[in-house]
């Protein structure tokens, strides 16, 4: 989807995503077998969420040269609110109407709300010309314009995001379960996730603004450090006050990570590659999210507690810090060069 937005335009990609998200939710309301559940969620992720993650974020970044971090922070903050709010709304719908009607209502609502908004998506003026000029530019000139060769930077940031999201995914998937194991009730435990995402809203705004002052890589590194420091403490908490306080701190840094990542991609890639670069980064990040949640459940089943699961999350966070730290030091050793007009945009 990111590559398609680079080659063509963002709007049709977003429209396809809206149709896929709404359609998969409607189809999920009709499922009668496990294979259908997996298939419809593949459609939801592969054609729905993927259309929003990379193309839309890349397009927002292309609109701004000043305060681009804040702009991307606002865009990603909206996603944090959705990730926290929609599951809450879905829970209310399931309680009142049953899961089939809940899926159907969510699917129809998605079409009604998002299709008109998708039609408002525009590329910034001159984007097509800037992309064409960037594609025609000499590869050597493009590489000289950046402290790290763009393809190397994409791979470097992508692998870092995979380990970062392994850390993140462990906590996000199992936060409710670990809180319930510590004695919190179901509603109190669900509050942990809600607080993480509410705090994450402010984290994405804050780290977006911060990246405008210190750069995307440093902002990403600071957010990653906070996430890594706090993740293992989920295994040490007792009582609602401790879990809720930890959720505030973890959510703030956890959410700042994604803003730092997309700003870093914006800063390290030419304008004609940003959709593809964001898509590759999100691909590895989502793999890390899935692996983090899976390994946490696996080790819990083996040992009956989350100690090793969350220790693995912290270890993944440390690997991410090594990767982002080495990238930062590599960049510092390079002499910054002026980016040619039409190459970066």
Distance CA 283, CA 47 (A): 13
pTM: 0.81
What pLDDT, on a 0 to 100 scale, did the predictor assign at position 145? 67
Q: How confident is the model at residue 319 (pLDDT cuts 50, 70, 90)?
A: very high
Residue 142: what pLDDT? 65
pLDDT tens for 36-83 read: 888 888 887 777 777 777 777 777 777 877 777 888 888 877 777 777
How many CB atoms lie under 10 A from the CB of residue 292?
28
Residue 235 predicted with pLDDT over 60? yes
In this structure, which long-range contacts are made by residues 80-86, counting pairs with CB atoms below 8 Å and at least 24 apart in sequence?
80/197, 80/200, 80/201, 80/203, 80/204, 80/255, 81/197, 81/198, 81/201, 83/197, 83/200, 84/193, 84/194, 84/196, 84/197, 84/198, 84/200, 84/201, 85/197
- Domains along the chain with CATH numbers: 2-333 (1.20.1250.20)
In angstroms, rounded to a whole number, what is the distance separating the alpha carbons of residues 313 and 163? 9
Any alpha helices (H) in 45-149, and if so which ranges? 50-51, 57-63, 68-97, 99-119, 127-136, 139-144
Position 141 pLDDT exceeds 70: no
Confidence of residue 340 (pLDDT cuts 50, 70, 90): very low
- Mean pLDDT, to the nearest integer, of 101-118? 91
C-alpha span between 277 and 331 (Å, rounded): 18
Query: How far apart are alpha carbons 280 and 286 in whole angstroms?
Result: 10
What percent of the chain is predicted at pLDDT more than 70? 88
**CA 249, 240, 171, 90 torsion-angle sign:** negative
């Amino acid at each position: 989807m990111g590559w398609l937005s680079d080659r063509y335009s963002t709007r049709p990609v977003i429209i396809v995503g809206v149709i896929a998200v709404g359609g998969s939710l409607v189809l999920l309301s009709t499922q009668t077998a496990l294979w259908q559940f997996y298939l419809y969620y593949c459609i939801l992720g592969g054609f729905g969420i993927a259309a929003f993650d990379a193309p839309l974020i890349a397009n927002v970044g292309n609109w701004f040269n000043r305060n681009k971090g804040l702009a991307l922070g606002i865009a990603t903050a909206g996603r944090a609110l959705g990730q926290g709010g929609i599951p809450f709304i879905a829970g209310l719908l399931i309680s009142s109407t049953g899961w089939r009607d809940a899926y159907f209502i969510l699917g129809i609502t998605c079409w009604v709300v998002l299709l008109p908004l998708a039609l408002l998506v525009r590329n910034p003026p001159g984007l097509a010309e800037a992309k064409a000029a960037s594609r025609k530019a000499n590869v050597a000139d493009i590489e000289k314009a950046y402290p790290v060769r763009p393809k190397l930077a994409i791979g470097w940031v992508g692998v870092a995001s995979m380990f970062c999201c392994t850390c993140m995914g462990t906590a996000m998937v199992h936060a409710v379960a670990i809180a319930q194991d510590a004695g919190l009730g179901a509603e109190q435990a669900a509050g942990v996730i809600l607080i993480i995402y509410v705090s994450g809203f402010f984290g994405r705004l804050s780290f977006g603004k911060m990246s405008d002052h210190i750069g995307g890589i440093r902002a990403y590194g600071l957010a990653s450090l906070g996430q890594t420091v706090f993740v293992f403490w989920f295994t040490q908490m007792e009582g609602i006050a401790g879990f809720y306080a930890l959720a505030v701190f973890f959510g703030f840094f956890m959410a700042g990570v994604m803003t730092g990542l997309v700003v870093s991609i914006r800063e390290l890639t030419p304008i004609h590659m940003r959709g593809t670069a964001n898509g590759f980064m999100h691909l590895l990040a989502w793999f890390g999210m899935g692996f983090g949640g899976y390994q946490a459940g696996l080790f819990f089943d083996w040992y009956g507690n989350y100690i090793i699961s969350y220790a693995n999350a912290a270890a993944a966070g440390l690997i991410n810090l090594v990767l982002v730290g080495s990238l930062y030091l590599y960049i510092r050793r390079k002499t910054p060069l002026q980016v040619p007009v039409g190459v970066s945009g």
